[in-house]
Amino acid sequence: MHNTGIVILAAGSSSRLGSPKQLLPFQNKNLLQHVIDEATATGAVPVVVVTGARSEVISAAIDTSNADVVWNEQWPEGKASGIVAGVRRIVSSYPQVEYIILAVCDQPFVSAGLFTQLFEKQLFSKKNIVASAYADTLGTPVLLGRKYFDALLALKEDEGARKILMMHRDDVAGVDFPLGHIDIDTQADYDSLTVIS
Render pLDDT for 55-91 as a digit per residue (tens, 0 to 9).
Answer: 999 999 999 899 999 999 999 999 999 999 999 999 9
pTM: predicted TM-score of the whole model, two decimal places: 0.95
Q: What CATH number labels 4-196?
A: 3.90.550.10
Q: What is the mean pLDDT of residues 10-25?
A: 84
Helix/strand/coil (H, E, C) string of the chain?
A: CCCEEEEEEECCCCCCCCCCHHHCEECCEEHHHHHHHHHHHCCCCCEEEEEECEHHHHHHCCCCCCCEEEECCCHHHCHHHHHHHHHHHHHHHCCCCCEEEEEECCCCCCCHHHHHHHHHHHHHHCCCEEEEEECCEEEEEEEEEHHHHHHHHCCCCCCCHHHHHHHCHHHEEEEECCCCCCCCCCHHHHHHHHHHC
Residues 141-146, mean pLDDT to the nearest whole number: 98
